[in-house]
Amino acid sequence: MKLIILDRDGVINHDSDAFIKSPDEWIPIKGSLEAIARLNQAGYRVVVATNQSGIARGLFDMPTLMAIHQKMHEAAQLVGAEIDAIFFCPHAADDNCDCRKPKAGMFHDIGKRFEISLRGGVATVGDSLRDLQAGFVAGCAPYLVLTGKGEKTRDKGGLPPGTLIFPDLAAVVEFLLKKPVELAV
C-alpha cells in the first residue's frame, strides 16, 4: 500500500495568519485537489496531519472544524479525489501534547492506523518546518512546498536532511509519479 501524509493549511488550501476559522475561509490551492486525485489513481492512500490550535485558542469549535473538513472532502470528491483520513491536533503549544507538530504523535498514529512503517519511503508534504520535522522524526521523506508559509520556511533554513523543495503539491506529485519505483530486492 502506498501512503502519503499531507499538511493541510498552506498545502491543500490557502493558509492565513488569522487561521482558517470557517468553511468559507477554506479555499483550495489551485491544482492541489487534482494532485490528490492523481495520487489516488496511482494507488496512494492520502492522509492529512494538521495542527489546529485555533480550537484551543477558541477561534472556532469542533463542529466548525468538522464543517471545514466536510467542505474539503466534498471539494475533493468533485475532482475525483479522496482523502482517506484527517488527523488533527486541537491543542495549544503550551498544552504539551504529543500530537502537535513538530512532535510526531499524529504520524505514529497514522502508521498504526494504516499498519504501515513510515520508514519505508512514505512522503510527507508541508509548508512549515514543524511539518517536515514531525514527519522526518517518524521516518517520512520530507517535501517542502513553497505555497502557504513555504517560502519563509525555505528562507529560514534548517530543513531536515534530504528535504526536497517544490513550488506546490502538484509539482511534488508530478515528481513522485515520475520517479522509478524502487523494486524490493
CA 115 – CA 105 distance, rounded (Å): 15
Interface segment toward Zn ion; rule CB under 5 A; list 80-88, 100-108, 127-135, 152-160: 100-108
CA distance to 11, 107, 111, 135, 177, per residue, from 50 (Å): 10, 10, 15, 12, 24
Using the rule CB under 6 A, is 138 a contact of ligand GMZ? no
* Residue 156, number of CB atoms within 10 A of its CB: 11
For residue 131, indicate whether it is catalytic: no
Q: Which is nearer to Mg ion, 132 or 141 (CB)?
A: 132
Out of 3, 6, 7, 122, point to the residue binding Mg ion (CB under 5 A).
7
- Judge whether 9 counts as a catalytic residue: yes
Considering beta carbons, is residue 76 or 110 the nearer one to Zn ion? 110
Q: How many CA atoms lie within 13 A of 100 on its CB side?
A: 13
Residues in the chain: 185
Stretch touching Zn ion by CB under 5 A, among 14-22, 23-31, 97-105, 157-165: 97-105
Q: Which residue numbers belong to the known binding site for Mg(2+)?
A: 7, 9, 127
Is residue 148 exposed (0-12), middle (13-18) or buried (19+ Cβ within 10 Å)?
buried
Q: Which residues bind Mg ion (CB under 5 A)?
A: 7, 9-10, 127-128
- Indicate which residues carry an active-site annotation: 7, 9
